[in-house]
Every structure is written in structure tokens, then in C-alpha cells.
Structure 1
Amino acid sequence: MQQPLLHPIALILLPLNGTPTGAAALELGLQLARRFAAHLDALHVGSDSREVAPLAGEGLSGALVEEMIGAAERESGRRLRTMRSLFDRVMAEEAAAGRPVATLDRERLSDPATPPVEGATAGFRAVAGREHERVAFAARLSDLIVVPHADSGDEVSSSEALHAVLFDSGRPVIIAPKRVAATVGRRIAIGWNGTAESASAVMSILPWLQHADAVEVLHSPEYQRQGPSAEELVAYLAIHGVRATTRQFASVDREVGAGLLAAAGSFGADLLCMGAYSHSRLRQLILGGVTRHVLEAATLPVLMAR
């Protein structure tokens, strides 16, 4: 008999902002919603045309400002229709494949008058405002956030939704791969370096570890910081009923992140868990780093926490 999850996942947030990899993230979000019988909240943040109005005080004529507002509203409407169409298409494809998920708005889900719904549900909603603020605020009252994979290195640097949830939500984040595998969380690799960030990631994924088929702790002298060793983590996990092995990895082409991903691949992991940005975000974005490399190059889902 399986143990109940320590921290049940009931609400999964998925920011949809138009990236080409949004469909894969939506597929992963629905897969996780079915696994946990949770609600997937697909959130699209559109621009607020009122933010253009202050430009009238910057020497622009009222007519020009009105034209800019109109253009912003049209573009925002186009993006909203595109994201709504994507949501409807993926939901239909999942149903056609025998994996239907009931459509339910988040407002109805939280209404005490709504009858209980068994199994997974999903809903699409759109709000206006600053993307990093609206996504971070919604993430703080979610159990898990799924973020589309960055389509390029530049997108890693500029993704407001990604950095909002990593730095301002206090919640675990799963970076979806560009292509979703059939299983997630059966073989879990932990990228461990002894930091508070990696400890937070382990705590976030502990319920998953207790139900995994295999768990391996990946470590490297080049990756390790001051803190508990990989062997100490294995002993800690054993107290929680999790049997884990260890694997030491080496850099690939002088990239620690590449070595970490290669070790996860050798283990056959379908989920990698790691802390995010042990160094400052600015340093990693400018000089590179393990977090940045994984965000750019991972081909499996990656759970990150800070």
C-alpha cells in the first residue's frame, strides 16, 4: 500500500506567454494534473494598455498615445486568442488520445457551491498587468509551477515568468522539456551540492521520491559547495524511507551543467531535481553557470527551487 503524499499537490500553475514550447509545457501540466488529481491553472498575462498613458507626459501627443494604446490592445488580443486556441487544441488532443481532463474555471473550482469533481481539471484564464508580478503572485498560492522550456539562451535571460517564479514565489518550479516523455518522476536524479537551494529542492520533491522506482544523488567536487555531502543526503533520505544511490560526475567540455545532465541521462532519469542559482542570478546570466546551462539544454523535466 502506497503512503499518502506528504504535501498533496492540488493546484498547478502554468504561465502561457506565447513561447513556441508552450504546447509541451501544457501537455506536461496535464500529465501532472492527472497524476495528482489536481487542477491545472493555465494563466495568460496580457499587457495593460493603461501603462502607455503616462507617455503623454513624455512629450508625445494625445493622438499618438491613443494610437499606441490601440496597437497594444490589438496585439494583446491577438496573443490572447492564440493562447486560448493552444489550450483548446491540446485539451482536445488529450481527450482524443484517451486522456480527457475536465475543463473547470479556477473561480468555479474555489466556489463552495461547486460540486466536488473527481480527477484532474484544467482551466484557462487571462489577466492584464505586468507579467512578472501577476505570475509571481499567482504562483505564491499554487503548489507547483510548470514553466515552458526556454526556446533560446536569450529567452533564459529575458523570461520574466521564469525568474518571477524562481525568485519571487517561494514555490517549486518544473521546467518542461521541449518534448514530453510518457513518465515523469519514476526515476529521479538529484543534483546535490550541499546548498540551501538544493536542500529546498529536495524538500519539495520528497513526496515524489517516496513513490519513485529509483533515486540517484548526483554530485561532483566541482559542483559541491560548503554544506552536507551526498552521502549525508542519502542517509537523510533513508530516514524518510527513500533508498538512493550516489554517482559522481565530471564536467563535460568544462561545463559542470553538461556533466550533470550527462549523469542524469546515464541514470535514465525522467526528472532532475536541483537548487537554482546558488550564485547570484546576474553572475550566472552574464558568466554562465550550472543553472543557466540546465535551463538551456535539459531534455527532461527539471524541478528547481530556491
Structure 2
Amino acid sequence: MAYRRLLLPLTGTASGEAALQTALMVARIWHSHVHCMHVRVDARDVAPLAGEGLSGAMIEEMMAATERESGDRASRVRELFDRFVDGKDVVIATTAESANKADAATLSFESVAGREEDLVAQQSRLYDLAVVPHTEAGEDVSSSDALHAILFDSGRPVLIAPQQPPQTIGTRVCCAWNGTAESAAAIAASLPWLHHAEAVQLLHSTAYHRRGPNVQGMLSYLRWHGIKAETREFQPISKDVGAGLLAAATDFDADLLCMGAYSHSRLRQLILGGVTRHVLEHAAIPVLMCR
């Protein structure tokens, strides 16, 4: 079992470039393919404004301006992709046959028009893993439509890339366990990484646990898969479970954290805060999440 096909919703930001580098690192480990998809705004989405009292001429001008801006942004993203692959030991592949023949990391690029949250969620269902850029500095995590669309609507795991490309990924892996279906799904999705890793640690805490099997049950599950792991009980920092979780991962020198997302409702965590929100905002290493 391996991650053969990765989807990267690509943006023209610094975080987007870091995600591209992270995705390529993953692809080189698994000899997999990264499909970079940039979603342009569809100018036809402006048409419903006709019901807002705008004239036909005004709407046409808005559609034309949207089309120009969207095209310019798509060109910048394509230029970023071309600069990134220039001089690197990667193969551009557009079919499964050409990618399989390469026996190496392969990349492709596509620019499509539509609603980003709809397209990335739907297309992610055809991939083993989606790699999503970290939110930009100062941005609210709730603004990442692609991330939440994949988490809630794709049925696939998401790898959130850090703002700075990591030096390594998947050599020392921490798994957050709290007994929930979400954390179980994350660990199941991370099994290839756990087999690949040099060291694995299960992080658990009384303050983090929900109704479900305890950490010894998950430890036994991993043994059935031939994976040796150690356990560590972490403590919240200033009553913040997410901060305690990230501190424990740092103590382990982890270069990958696997965890379930939004055991509580997304709305509750976005308004009041929560473990998922804290990790999404503050993690400096790649984080694999499942919902």
C-alpha cells in the first residue's frame, strides 16, 4: 500500500509553493504522481447578480473583469509551476501509463474554471491523498475552502503542508489518539507512513480523549500491522490541548503528525477554538488529517 496519486489545489502564494515542494517530497518517497489543479473563478458566477438590481451592461463588465483577473491569476500560477519544475529531476506525465513507466516522481498541471470547494472535494475522491497549502500568515483558518471541502466531502485524507517546506517527512511520526472515529480514520490512512517511519509515537491525554477505545487498544491494533510504537501521555499547556499536542510532537522531533479533525462540530471549533483549529493554525510540520 502506498500513495500513488496526489492532488494539490495549487495557488500562486508562498504557501502554495511550499505545498508544491512538500508534495514533491512525498511523491519522491512513494514514486507517486502529483496533479496540480488550479481552479479559476468562473465569470458566469457573477450572473446571479442580475437579481440585485444591476443592469445588464454592469454585469457584463463585472464578468469581463472577473475573467481578466482570473486569467491573470491562472497565468501566474502556471508560471510558478513551470519555474518550480525547471531544472528539477521530475517527469511531467499526463497519463497513468507514462507515470508508471517513469518509476519516479511525476507531475502534471491543470487549470479549470469553477467553484474551488466543489471541484477539489469531488476530484479528491479519485486520489489517495490531497496536499493542501497552509493558510497564509494572518489569515483565519476558516478561510481555507479547499481544506474544509476535502476534509468534509471527499472521503480522503488531507496532508496540510507547513508554511516552510520541511527537511524530512515521515521518518518520525506522531499519531494523536483520542478514541474517536476521526482519529481511527487518520491512523488507518497513515499506515503507509507508519510502516515507512523509523519511530512512531501515540500521543494521548485525558483532556483530549473522547468516548472510545483507550490508547492500549490502538497500540495493539498497530502491533497486528507489524508496527512498533511507543505511547506518551501529554498535558495541555495553559489548558490548551492543541498546544500540548504540538509540544509533544516537537519533543519527539516528529516530522509528521497524524490526527482526526473536528471531533466536535466545525462551527464550534471555528467560533470557540479547539484542537483542530490550533493545529491548523500553528503546526510547523506536515499534518495528515481525516474527518
Q: Normalising to structure 2: TM-score of the pair?
A: 0.96
Alpha carbons of 1:56 and 1:195: their partners in 2 closer, same or farther (altered >3 Å)?
same
Query: After the TM superposition, which of the residue ranges 117-126 and 161-170 deviates more from structure 2?
Result: 117-126
Indicate the SS of the match to 2:235.
coil
Residue 181 of structure 2 is aligned to residue 187 of structure 1: no
- The residue that corresponds to 1:129 in the other structure is 114
Please identify, of 186-195 and 229-238, the stretch whose mean Cα deviation from structure 2 is larger: 229-238
SS in 1 for 2:190: helix
- 1:46 to 2:40 alignment: yes
Q: Does 1:164 align with 2:149?
A: yes
Aligned counterpart, 2:76: 82
2:161 equivalent to 1:176: yes
Alpha-carbon offset, residue 61 of structure 1: 1.0
**1:203 match:** 188
State percent identity of aligned pairs.
56
Distance 1:206 1:113 in 2: 27
Contact residue 12 and residue 80 of structure 2 kept, 8 A? no
String of CA shifts for 1:62-115, please: whole Å, max 9, x gaps: 11111101110111011101111111122126x1xxxx111123xxx14x6998
| Equivalent residue letter for 1:244 | A
Supply the AA of the counterpart residue of 1:11.
Answer: R
Contact 1:174 1:304 in 2 (8 A): yes
Instruction: Measure the CA separation in 2 of the matches of 1:241 and 1:114.
Output: 30
User: Deviations along 1:17-68, whole A, 9 cap, x unmatched?
Assistant: 3443111100011111111111100010001111112323432111111110
2:289 is matched by which residue type in structure 1? M
Counterpart of 1:299, as a letter, is A
Cross-structure match for 1:91: 85
SS of equivalent residue, structure 1 residue 303: strand
Paired residue secondary structure (1:41)? strand
Partner residue of 2:92?
103
**Structure 1: 5+ residue stretches without partners:** 1-5
Name the structure 2 match of 1:23.
17
Pair 1:34 & 2:19 matched: no
Determine if contact 1:13/1:43 at 8 Å carries over to the other structure.
yes
Q: Among 272, 284, 287, which residue is 2:269 paired with? A: 284
Q: SS state of the match for residue 119, structure 1?
A: coil
The answer to whether 1:212 aligns with 2:197 is: yes
Question: Counterpart of 1:199 in structure 2: which amino acid?
Answer: A
Which of these residues, 126, 132, 149, is aligned with residue 141 of structure 1? 126
Query: What is the rounded CA distance, in whole Å, between the counterparts of 2:262 and 2:137 in structure 1?
Result: 18
Q: Deviations over 1:121-155 (max 9, x none)?
A: 10110110111001101101110000001124643
**Is the contact made by 1:152 and 1:296 (CA closer than 8 Å) also made in structure 2?**
no
Cross-structure match for 1:116 = 101
Between 234-243 and 196-205, report the one with greater CA deviation: 234-243
Matched, 1:298 2:287: no
**Matching residue of 1:63:** 57
Cα gap change, 1:250/1:122 in structure 2, threshold over 3 Å: closer, same or farther?
Answer: same
Match of 1:3 in 2: none
Identify which of 241, 247, 256 aligns with 1:262.
247
Between stretches 78-87 and 153-162, larger displacement belongs to: 153-162
Residue 140 of structure 2 aligns to a residue whose secondary structure is helix
Number of residue equivalences: 291
Q: Are positions 1:10 and 2:28 aligned together? A: no
Pick which of 42-51 and 150-159 moved more.
150-159
Mapped partners of 2:193, 2:182: distance in 1: 18
In the aligned structure 2, how far is the partner of 1:196 from the partner of 1:218? 16
Does residue 248 of structure 1 match 2:237? Answer: no
Where structure 2 has 5 or more consecutive residues not aligned to the other structure, the ranges are none
- CA gap of 1:61–1:11, structure 2 versus 1, over 3 A, is same
* Cα gap change, 1:66 to 1:172, in 2 (>3 Å): same
What is the distance in 2 between the residues matched to 1:9 and 1:52? 38
| Helix, strand or coil at the partner of 2:3 | coil
Q: Residue 160 of structure 2 contacts residue 288 of structure 2 at CA under 8 Å; is this kept in 1? A: yes
